[in-house]
């Protein structure tokens, strides 16, 4: 399995509505990108100081399937319309979990 | 399910042996921390510029079980002996995946 992990932090001015819209829009993606074998996203639980704001963990059969997700227009739309306007910082790793 | 995600980046001086030891030692933890329901760790595949170096994704039944892992002496030993000496930066999120 090939896993893609992204942690995002939001700017201070981000509204609750903007943050909620990121989760809502991302959770629609498995319906339009069948390469997503598992897709669990969500806001930080708030239990630990210094954490990032939001996590995305996506599992694929292969790096090629990850690339399809990465470049998919439905995914790029969420990034451009919902994530980019409130993004402060981003950390990512892709790794083989087998 | 309660998921803990950490992305780590290593200092430039980190050796291949030091990096491999992190993965090896972490992969022993499910044998001594039964609260770990799933534990998939590994080095970045190197496909994307600007990525962090290493990912840890750990699944628990509850935030309380995550806290047991976080504070477990076997886990703290890996952090102190293997991760801290080569750590450049760290990003983390804990979130509810249900």
Q: Residues A60-83: pLDDT tens digits?
A: 999 999 999 999 999 999 999 999
**Interface probe with B: pick from A1, A3, A4, A5, most Cβ of B within 10 Å:** A5
Residues whose CB is less than 8 angstroms from the CB of residue A88 and which lie 6 or more positions away in sequence, other chains included: A9, A10, A11, A12, A53
Cβ A95–B44 below 8 Å, yes or no?
A: yes
Give the minimum alpha-carbon distance from B55 to chain A in angstroms, rounded to a whole number. 6
pLDDT digits (tens, 9 = 90+) for B69-93: 999 999 999 999 999 999 999 999 9
B35, with CB counted inside 10 A (0-12, 13-18, 19+), is middle
B97–A40 CB contact, under 8 Å = yes
pLDDT, residue B47, reads: 86
By C-alpha distance, the chain A residue nearest B45 is A95
Choose from A1, A63, A91 for mutation: most chain B CBs within 10 A. Answer: A91
**For the CA atoms of B57, B58, B64, B67, what is the dihedral angle to 10 degrees?**
-70
Give the A-side interface with B, CB within 8 Å.
2-3, 5, 7, 40, 42-45, 47-48, 50-55, 57, 63, 91-97
* Of residues A27, A35, A85, A93, the one with CA closest to residue B51: A93
Strands B2-10 and A87-96, bridge-based pairing: unpaired
Class of domain A2-96: alpha beta
Q: Tell me the ipTM for this assembly.
A: 0.96
pLDDT tens for A9-56 read 999 999 999 999 999 999 999 999 999 999 999 999 998 999 999 999
The ranges assigned to domains in chain B are 2-96
Could you give the count of Cα atoms lying within 13 Å of A22 in the half-sphere of its Cβ? 25
């Amino acid at each position: 399995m090939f896993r893609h992990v992204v942690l995002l932090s939001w700017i201070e001015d981000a509204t609750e509505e903007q943050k909620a819209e990121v989760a809502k829009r991302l959770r629609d993606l498995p319906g339009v990108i069948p390469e997503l074998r598992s897709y669990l996203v969500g806001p930080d639980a708030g239990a630990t100081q210094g954490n990032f704001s939001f996590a995305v963990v996506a599992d694929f059969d292969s790096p090629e399937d990850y690339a399809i997700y990465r470049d998919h227009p439905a995914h790029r739309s969420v990034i451009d319309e919902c994530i980019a306007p409130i993004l402060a910082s981003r950390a990512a790793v892709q790794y083989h979990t087998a």
